[in-house]
A and B are shown apart, each in its own frame.
Chain A
Amino acid sequence: MTGGESEFSEIFVRVLLLRDYNTRLVVLSTALLGIAGGVVGSFLLLRKRALMGDAIAHATFPGVVAAFMLLVLLGGDGRFLPWLLLGALAGGALGCVAVVWIRTATRIKDDAAMGIVLSVFFGGGVALFGMAQRMPGTSAAGLKSFLYGNTAAMVWGDFLLLAVSAVVVLVIALFFFKELRLLCFDEAFARAQGWPVRFLDGILLALAAGITVVGLQAVGIILIIAMLIIPAASARQWTHRFGWMLILAAALGGASGWVGSTVSALLPKAPAGAVIVLTAAAIFLVSLLAGSDRGLARRGWRARKLAQRVERQHLLRAAFELLEEQNADPRTTLVRWSDLARRRSWTAHRLRRAATRAYNDALVNKPEADGFQLSDRGWREATRVTRNHRLWELYLIERADIAPSHVDRDADTIEHVLGPDLVRELERVMARQGGGGGAPLPPSPHPLS
């Protein structure tokens, strides 16, 4: 098998270094497609129009077939790429108009409008294709490659056309960057500021149609939507800043195109379009798990941190209230597990775990067999936490008319996130009210169980 291996490694090097003419064209054009798709897709995703790309893509099919038939009827060969792409663009634009018309002129909602246009246009395309196949003197079989993409047939002229289209789409997207961003984030404000919202929406959909046309040959009608959604969705997992999201989506889209088409060139019988989409999906999966802004791991970590903080504060407040009841000296008195368990209705295990965590934060001394002692720091923190809780309770009782018997639980939901500013504000308000809020530590407004 050494012969096979060296042959493979030779192919490997040839592909990686883009030595083959066709590979070079395919890799570059899919990378460009990925970059442009990522940018336009970011806008579409945030505008919640992701599936619109799918409707547009399907609507290009009858356009392509009709353009082909027209050219054949006029005596041409029919397979003249710029003309076919023009037909695709026209079909996509008509599809857009149809969706908007259905949405505004009838009672049919967005989702059904897209479904109708997608399936009816595509059905029309299939019917036309059935006729085009039997046209004498030419072969419509090549049109099928627009469905799943076919990179093998790409030549320099095609590449140039696609590259120019991708660049034009990119330039338009960046030219309208500010307006489109406004549209995505605050349509009502954009409208109030006098921006032509419908025109901008039209631009956005036209850009999506442009991407479809660029990707028609490489990825195909059915999967082009993936190039719009997936890189943008991946980028969103890493950042909430729009500018970064655009850059990242372009980079991830470009990488998907590059890696996907390279892999497809290396493996026999691996259609480029599908492999590119799978590459993008793999990147998305990693982003979803590990993304630094919205990734599941990151969100799980944050939720855990918050739960721990809440638990610690509950422990400290329970300890404080026990000591307060007994009027005991916090520095010498042991807070007993049994008392704490009764107050918080926690399991013994949970109580121990919370105490151990508090010990690690130097808030309590080393837990003993029947209880623990608060450290100096722990006492100060416990006082602060209890004070926040009671201030908020008092505020709710006096300002929000909540019964003292119900206030404990309501206060629980907010006290853990009271910032210093808000606490000062509360102190000021409560002092003015003379409701005991001015005291260093107001007494609990309800009986402590």
Chain B
Amino acid sequence: MEWYAFDTWIVLTGALSAGACALVGSFLVLRRMSMMGDAISHAVLPGLAVAFLITGARSSWVMFAGAAAIGLLTAVGTEWLHRKGRMDEGASMGIVFTTFFALGLVLIARAADRVDLDPECVLYGALELTPLDTVALALPFFGEADVPRAFLVLLAVFVLNLVAVAVFFKELRLVCFDPALAATLGFGAKRVHYGLMTLVAVTTVASFEAVGSILVIAMLIVPAATARLLTDRLSTLLLLAVLLAFAAAAVGHFAAITVPVWFGFADTSTAGTMAFVTGLFFLGAAGYASLRRRLQTRSTPIATL
């Protein structure tokens, strides 16, 4: 195996995307809305397509805004269908996001000659290609450096999520664990909900190009769920989730370029292996949690129960 600067950028970009996702995803998992991440990340497709058709350029701000808007629309539509249409929440989610996704597919297919937007790219992302698209940046100590554009975008989103979570930590915690109390105290649970959904949409859109929508779902949910198995404290959970996400990016990329070689292949998709590695982490944590539970129940004297 050979490791280039290229690989370092891939890991860093993947880690930032995964970390940003894990931050907001923790709240999705705690609020039992994990599938919302799935719905939003799928529904983003038509937003990208329309914005792309209008501006004709990829990765412009319009595209970003269009996709994030559709993501938010998915959250609003699901809520509306659930409330007004009296539909089961999962079902309303499924209806909204499949409709948007289908719309996106048709739009892209109809404009195939003008649009160079591959739906598969949305699904898998192109993490391996992100280091090719760089921006020259003057840094205080390093002088002039070529930094991948995706890295900068994801850095911004990661910081945004970090700040948002730090500033609204109290409100988010309250809405997660005691929505009724939050409502009584006058924190708009609704405002927090849509604020969170906006962050999810923005994170998803920023991540999709680099890592694809499937990895986004994996990173939103799996590190947070893994951390949930290991701790009961929200702050610890957030920290653990982000660390697990970083680790998944590093291990995932490493596995992507080494493991296939053992079986005689060249390499494989980093996004895919990253998602798969988070699954392994989860499996490990589940094993550890059940072991600990078993040891605890065995060692606890009956009298203290």
Q: Which residue of B has the minimal Cβ distance to A287? A: B85
In the bound complex, residues from chain B placing their C-beta under 8 Å from that of A109 are 32
**Please, what's the 1-or-0 string for B20-41, where 1 marks a CB less than 8 Å from any CB in chain A?**
0000000001001111011000
Give, as a whole number of angstroms, the nearest-CB distance from B31 to chain A. Answer: 9
In the docked arrangement, what's the CA distance between A126 and B214, Å?
9
In the bound complex, residues from chain B placing their C-beta under 8 Å from that of A111 are 29, 32-35, 90
User: Which of the residues A112, A128, A144, A288 comes within 8 Å of B85, measured between beta carbons?
Assistant: A288
User: Which of the residues B106, B229, B286 comes within 8 Å of A271, measured between beta carbons?
Assistant: B106
Q: Count of B residues near A, CB < 8 Å? A: 65
Q: Which residue of A has the minimal Cβ distance to B255? A: A127
User: Which of the residues A119, A144, A226 comes within 8 Å of B217, measured between beta carbons?
Assistant: A119
Judged by a CB distance under 8 angstroms, whether A36 is at the interface is no
**Please, what's the 1-or-0 string for B89-126, where 1 marks a CB less than 8 Å from any CB in chain A?**
01101110011011101100110100000011001100
In the bound complex, residues from chain B placing their C-beta under 8 Å from that of A277 are 98-99, 101-102
In the bound complex, residues from chain B placing their C-beta under 8 Å from that of A106 are 229, 286, 289-290
Judged by a CB distance under 8 angstroms, whether B272 is at the interface is yes
Tell whether A115 pairs with B35 under 8 Å between CB atoms, given A105-B290, A127-B268, A226-B102: yes
Q: Is the CB of A229 within 8 A of B98?
A: yes
In the docked arrangement, what's the CA distance between A121 and B98, Å?
20
In the bound complex, residues from chain A placing their C-beta under 8 Å from that of B120 are 144, 147
Q: Is the CB of A130 within 8 A of B268?
A: yes
User: Which of the residues B98, B225, B267 comes within 8 Å of A116, measured between beta carbons?
Assistant: B225
In the bound complex, residues from chain A placing their C-beta under 8 Å from that of B99 are 226, 230, 277-278, 281
Q: Is the CB of B271 within 8 A of A118?
A: no
Q: Is the CB of B98 within 8 A of A119?
A: no
Judged by a CB distance under 8 angstroms, whether A233 is at the interface is yes
Q: Which residue of A has the minimal Cβ distance to B110? A: A269
In the docked arrangement, what's the CA distance between A434 and B50, Å?
75
Judged by a CB distance under 8 angstroms, whether A107 is at the interface is yes
Determine, out of B67-75, B170-178, B195-203, B273-281, the stretch whose residues face the partner at the interface. B273-281
User: Which of the residues A125, A229, A296 comes within 8 Å of B95, measured between beta carbons?
Assistant: A229
Tell whether A120 pairs with B94 under 8 Å between CB atoms, given A111-B32, A127-B272: no
Main secondary structure of the interface of B (DSSP, over half): helix
Main secondary structure of the interface of A (DSSP, over half): helix
Q: Is the CB of A54 within 8 A of B267?
A: no
Q: Is the CB of B260 within 8 A of A131?
A: yes
Q: Is the CB of B106 within 8 A of A123?
A: no
Q: Is the CB of A122 within 8 A of B275?
A: yes
Q: Is the CB of B228 within 8 A of A127?
A: no
Judged by a CB distance under 8 angstroms, whether A250 is at the interface is no
**Please, what's the 1-or-0 string for B116-143, where 1 marks a CB less than 8 Å from any CB in chain A?**
0001100110000000000000000000
Tell whether A281 pairs with B112 under 8 Å between CB atoms, given A116-B221, A123-B279: no
In the bound complex, residues from chain B placing their C-beta under 8 Å from that of A228 are 94
In the docked arrangement, what's the CA distance between A135 and B279, Å?
25
Extra contacts, 7 of them, besides A120-B282, A123-B272, A223-B101 (Cβ < 8 A), are A112-B29, A114-B35, A115-B38, A130-B260, A131-B268, A271-B109, A273-B105
Chain B contact residues, CB within 8 Å of chain A: 29, 32-35, 37-38, 42, 81, 84-88, 90-91, 93-95, 98-99, 101-103, 105-106, 109-110, 112, 119-120, 123-124, 212, 214-215, 217-218, 220-222, 224-225, 228-229, 256, 260, 263, 265-269, 271-276, 278-279, 282, 286, 289-290
- The contact sample of 12 A-B pairs, CB cut-off 8 A, is A51-B35, A51-B90, A111-B33, A119-B38, A120-B222, A125-B272, A130-B256, A229-B91, A229-B95, A269-B109, A274-B105, A275-B106
